[in-house]
Amino acid sequence: MCEGLRVKIMEQSRVSAPPHSASPNSLPLTFLDLPWLFFSPNQPLFFFPFPFSLSHFTTFTLPNLKLSLSLTLQHYFPFAGTFVPSPEPSKPHIVYSETSSVSLVVAESSDDFSHLCSNHARDANRFYSLVPKLKSGKKKIPLMAIQITVFPDSGICIGLAYLHILGDGRTFHNFMNTWAAYCSSQQASSFPPKSPPFYDRSVIVDSHGLEEVFLKQWRRKKTSFIDETKVKSSSSSLSDLVRATFLMDPTQMEKIKRFIVSLCREKSQPEHLSPYVLTCAFLWVCLLKTHQLTDNDEDVHYKDPAYFGFIAGGMTRLQFPVPANYLGNCVGFGRASAMREELLGEGGIVVAARAIGGTVKKLDHGMLVGAEKWVSDWEVMNGSELHVVATWSPKLKLYETDFGWGRPRKIEEISIDKSRAISLINSREVDGGIEIGLALPHKKMESFTMFFNQGLNAIS
C-alpha cells in the first residue's frame, strides 16, 4: 500500500487552555534558548498499545485526550504560543495569550502497527504520515503541533513537532507527563501537576555575555531558520532511508569497559567511563567504520579530525541554581574530537572513550567555557555523515509516560532522518539499558548492524 493510503485524516482542530487560565504575555529567549534557533524541529512519535475499536477511540478516548491536553496547556501555555523573530534591536521571544492554541490532527491508519514498533530496519518514509506539520509564517511561527493517529484494534501514535526553543528534553518530558497524568486521572478536571512549571527567566544568568554573541549569529541566518521550521511530510532524498533500533544493556556496557581497561594497561585509562560514554564511544567507531566501508569517498582525509557532538545537562554544571521545573532550556553542547585515522585503528574505542569522557569532564568543570563557539562548532556536524551527533538523553524516563493504556510500545525521533543524528533514550525492556535510534541508507544500515554485532561479540 502506498504511503498516501495508509493514513486518513478524520479531524483537524485547535486546542487551547481553559478560558481565563492564561494571561497575555511573552517570554524572552535566554542565551541557553538562542542556540536552538539554528536547529530543525524535534519530531518524536510515541506508540502506545490500544486494542480497542475506532468507535471506542472516537467516543471515549479522543474527548479525554483533548480535555487533558487543554488542562495541560493551562500550565504549559507557551506550548500553545508562537515564536516572534523580532527585528533589531528587539530580541526574539515567545508570545502567548488566552486565545493561543495548538494544532491537533486526528487520523486513522491502516498501516501495520507492530511493524512500525519493531526494532529491525523499516522504511523511514512510512513514519512521515504520522508526523504533524508546523505551518510557519514570516512574522509568527507556531511552537508545537500534535497529531494523534489511531490504528484500530492495535494502537495509538501521538506525534509531535516542536521547536527546541520551547525547552530542553526535561521540559518536554514534564509536559508529556502532565498531559498523561491528566488523561489517566479519574478526576481530570481537578488533577494538579506535582510540580507546575517555573517561568522566571531571571534564574538564567548570562555572566559570559553569550546572549549578544548568539543574537548576532541568529540575525545573520534568520531567513534560513524560518525555512527550516517548515517540516515536510517526506523527502525524495530519504527514499532509500531505513530506521532501526539497537539496544545496549548494562552487561554489554560493562564488557566494553573491561575491554577498554585491558587495552590501557600501559597507559592511563580514559576519564569518566560512564554507561553513556561507553555507548557513545562504541557507536562512534561503528558509524565511522560503516561510512569507511560504504563510501569510498576520495574527499575524506583520514588524517582529519572527526567530531562527536552531544547534549550536556546544565542543572548540575551551571554555577547558578535552576529549579528542576524550570520551563526552558538548561543544556549545553559538547563536541569531542579525535583523529579519524586513530578512531578507525585497533584501539579506536579507547580513543573515542578518551575524547568523549574528556569532553564530559571539561563540561563538568565549566559548561560555558568556549560556549561562544557552540553554534559554529555544531554547524560543521549538522547533517554530516563524517561526524556524529547524539540527541535526547537516557536520563529522561520517556517510557514511563502512561496515558492510561500502559507504557509506550515504542518511541521514535523522526528528525534524525534529516540531521543524521542518533537518538539515545532509556530502554523500555532493560533497566539501565540504552535504546539507540538510527536512520541510514539500506546498505549502510546492513553494514552498521554487522559492525555493531561483531563488535559486541568480539569483546564478550
pTM above 0.75, yes or no: yes
- DSSP secondary structure string, 391-411? ES-TTS-GGG--SSS-S-SEE
Q: Can you list the domains of the chain with their CATH numbers?
A: 3-236 (3.30.559.10), 239-458 (3.30.559.10)
pLDDT band at 301 (very low <50, low <70, confident <90, very high): low
Question: Which position among 33, 75, 93, 164 bears the catalytic label?
Answer: 164
- Section 77-90 average pLDDT: 86
**Angle value at C-alpha 297, between 296 and 300, nearest 5 degrees:** 125
Phi-psi region of 392 (alpha: psi -120 to 50; beta: other; left: phi over 0): left
Note if 227 is an active site residue: no
Q: Give 376 or 301, the one with higher predicted confidence.
A: 376
Q: Quick one: pLDDT at residue 188?
A: 52
Q: Quick one: pLDDT at residue 235?
A: 44
Nearest by Cα to 439 from 163, 292, 237, 167: 237
Q: Quick one: pLDDT at residue 234?
A: 41
Q: Which H or E run includes 333?
A: strand 331-339
CB of 78 within 8 A of CB of 166?
yes
Could you read off the pLDDT of 324-373 as tens digits, one per residue? 999 999 999 999 999 999 999 999 999 999 999 999 999 999 999 999 99
Query: Which three three-digit cell numbers place residue 441?
Result: 541508507
Q: How far apart are alpha carbons 300 and 293 in whole angstroms?
A: 12
DSSP state of 439: E
Could you read off the pLDDT of 254-296 as tens digits, one per residue? 999 999 999 998 778 888 899 999 999 999 999 999 999 987 6
Question: Which position among 123, 240, 249, 402 bears the catalytic label?
Answer: 402
Q: How far apart are alpha carbons 143 and 141 in whole angstroms?
A: 6
Residue 233, pLDDT above cutoff 60: no
Q: How far apart are alpha carbons 322 and 314 in whole angstroms?
A: 9
Residue 246, pLDDT above cutoff 90: yes
Residue 161, pLDDT above cutoff 90: yes
Residue 232, pLDDT above cutoff 50: no
Q: Quick one: pLDDT at residue 221?
A: 78
Listed in sequence order, the residues at least 6 apart from 121 whose beta carbon sits closer than 8 Å to its beta carbon are 242, 243, 244, 442, 445, 446, 449
Could you read off the pLDDT of 396-406 as tens digits, one per residue? 999 999 999 99
- Section 439-445 average pLDDT: 96
Least confident range from 133-142, 361-370, 405-414: namely 133-142
Q: What whole-number percentage of the chain has pLDDT above 90?
A: 80
Q: How many CB atoms lie within 10 A of CB 231?
A: 20
Q: Quick one: pLDDT at residue 268?
A: 85
Could you read off the pLDDT of 183-221 as tens digits, one per residue? 998 655 555 667 889 999 999 999 999 999 999 999 887
Least confident range from 64-78, 174-188, 397-411: namely 174-188
- DSSP secondary structure string, 45-97? EEEEE--S-HHHIIIIIHHHHHHHHHHHHTTSGGGGSEEE-PPTTSPPEEEE-
Query: Which three three-digit cell numbers place residue 102?
Result: 495548538
pLDDT band at 230 (very low <50, low <70, confident <90, very high): low
Mean pLDDT of the chain: 91
pLDDT band at 447 (very low <50, low <70, confident <90, very high): very high
Could you read off the pLDDT of 415-437 as tens digits, one per residue? 999 999 999 999 999 999 999 99
Q: Give 2 or 361, the one with higher predicted confidence.
A: 361
Note if 304 is an active site residue: no
- Section 301-310 average pLDDT: 88
Q: How far apart are alpha carbons 146 and 160 in whole angstroms?
A: 5
Q: Quick one: pLDDT at residue 228?
A: 56
Q: What whole-number percentage of the chain has pLDDT above 70?
A: 91
Listed in sequence order, the residues at least 6 apart from 15 whose beta carbon sits closer than 8 Å to its beta carbon are 66, 69, 70, 73, 80, 101, 102, 104, 146
- Burial environment of residue 423 by CB neighbours within 10 A (0 to 12, 13 to 18, 19 or more): buried
Residue 231, pLDDT above cutoff 50: no
